[in-house]
Amino acid sequence: MSDMSALQRQSFTPRETVSELDRYIIGQDQAKRAVAIALRNRWRRQQVPDDLRDEIVPKNILMVGPTGVGKTEIARRLAKLIRAPFVKVEASKFTEVGYVGRDVESMIRDLVEAAVSLVREESESKVQARAEQATEERLLDLLLPRAGHSFEAKSDGGHDAAEEGSQSKTRETFRRMLRDGKLDDRSVEVEVAAKPGMSLVQNFSNEGVQDMVFQLQDMLGGAKGGGPKKRRKVSLREARELLLQEEMAKLIDADQVHRDALKLTEESGIVFIDEIDKVASSDGKRGSGGGPDVSREGVQRDLLPIVEGSTVTTKYGRIRTEHILFIAAGAFHGAKVADLIPELQGRFPIRVELSGLSNDDFVRILSEPKNSLVKQYQALLRTEGLELVFSDDAIKTIAAIAAEVNQSQENIGARRLHTVLETLLEDISFHAPEQRDTEVKIDGAFVKKKLARVLDSEDLQRFIL
């Protein structure tokens, strides 16, 4: 696994990055360009001389815009594009040091956990074939326990050779049945690591002391599978999964995985801090007296060294945060960006405004993205043998209704489309199993008829939240 590092991950030009984001996110070109440049700058940093490389830090981004317009999705898709560790946190969930709650360093610990999972998945994919082969042999041993001698050729008598040949033939027969899934429901007894019992510390654990809990569990041997073993009777299907995990663990160097994950976190990690506006001083007066604004400012001051560049201790090792990319976002309805402490503002030099979504945007969101909601519902109901067909008129009507409800109720952006479509297709989804091999055409008239009671109701929230 040593050949895997942040430096060798696929690089994209800014134009290629924007093109990829366009496949999933409608509009918001300024924000896409900003993250595309930030991503390319990471690659550029790796090409500069060593003495200058450490001096170049990411230009963190602050996204300002209403809810539901794509802020989180842009950051998440960016991380997915390059398979970078990504974590989304909400600034409002953190508390100032000295108070009970989540400390800001936990975002880095979460990011490292994401990196470990990412590197482990990639490591497992490389040893998958060998692990499956070893698992198959172990399953056959469970079904047909080997004799006291090996199946290699013998020279001590024809009887042993004949018996051996018979056993080998039987083993190959079972191998074919195993691969065809004909033995999946058969019960076998396997030896697995016993799960540690509920310890006292688990009863008192919270997010602020999560690493202490993990470390104590490691000491008890439960987290790494080094604890006591116990025998369980399970189906062969379940045994295959249990043994496959064991075999992959044998083939993977856990220490190397952790080293690679730490490097990947430092070089490619992305932290998305949502609701940053919730920790801004609402009256614009910083440090004036007591009350909640003091706590908000305390959270900002705790965030500052993490964003600025510091060292955080995790269960896998120490992480330097100066080259992690931080993307903060907020609606800033009741507060302004200027209400953040100046030091924190200065750590987010790239500022992009995301616009609200129009009726036309909703039409495009429903029809253009690779993973559009319409395509998702069509795929879901196709599993029941039911084919949903949306006319252009239906798409426009759904978009118009979503925009109208956003105007009359709280504007939640594209999330409104989820609730409108769920309400529209409720009856079809319920009766789909009884309507197999049929085609349901949805046009504008159908949409208006189905949603008429919603639009006519004075209490829209009763139907669409």
Quickly name the fold that domain 6-115+258-353 has.
Rossmann fold (3.40.50)
How many other CB atoms are found less than 10 A from the CB of residue 231? 9
Give the tokens for residue 287.
């440090």
pLDDT confidence of residue 247: 87
Burial class (CB in 10 A: 0-12, 13-18, 19+), 158: exposed
C-alpha closest to that of 69 among 330, 342, 244, 305: 330
Beta-strand pair 270-274/325-330: parallel
When pLDDT is cut at 50, 70 and 90, the band that residue 265 belongs to is very high
When pLDDT is cut at 50, 70 and 90, the band that residue 409 belongs to is confident
pLDDT reading at 110 higher than 70:
yes
**CB proximity list for 127: less than 8 A, separation 6 or greater:** 248, 251, 252
User: What CATH number belongs to 359-453?
Assistant: 1.10.8.60
Continuous H helices in 309-414: 342-346, 359-367, 373-382, 392-408
User: Which residue has better confidence, 423 or 453?
Assistant: 423
> Residue 143: helix, strand or coil by DSSP?
helix
Beta-strand pair 325-330/317-320: unpaired
Q: What is the mean pLDDT of residues 318-336?
A: 89
pLDDT reading at 219 higher than 70:
no
pLDDT confidence of residue 283: 57
Asked whether 193 and 229 are in contact (CB, 8 A), the reply is yes
pLDDT reading at 371 higher than 70:
yes
Q: What is the mean pLDDT of residues 291-310?
A: 80
**CB proximity list for 1: less than 8 A, separation 6 or greater:** 119, 122, 123, 126, 252, 253, 256, 257, 260
pLDDT reading at 287 higher than 70:
no
Give percent of the chain with pLDDT exceeding 70: 78
> Which of 114-123, 276-285, 413-422 is predicted with the least confidence, judged by mean pLDDT?
276-285
Alpha-carbon distance 25 to 63, whole Å? 15
Residue 167's alpha-carbon distances to 137, 177, 181, 278, in angstroms, are 14, 15, 21, 70
3-state helix/strand/coil string of 23-61: CCCCCCHHHHHHHHHHHHHHHHHHHCCHHHHCCCCCCCE
Alpha-carbon distance 286 to 339, whole Å? 8
Alpha-carbon distance 170 to 172, whole Å? 5
> Which of 133-137, 286-290, 455-459 is predicted with the least confidence, judged by mean pLDDT?
286-290
Sign of CA dihedral 190, 193, 198, 204: negative
Alpha-carbon distance 122 to 352, whole Å? 34
Taking each helix axis from N to C terminus, what angle separates 236-251 and 106-143, rounded to the nearest 10 degrees?
A: 120
The domain spans of the chain are 6-115+258-353, 146-254, 359-453
pLDDT reading at 290 higher than 60:
no
Rg (C-alpha) for the chain, rounded Å, is 28
When pLDDT is cut at 50, 70 and 90, the band that residue 161 belongs to is low
pLDDT reading at 353 higher than 60:
yes
When pLDDT is cut at 50, 70 and 90, the band that residue 257 belongs to is very high
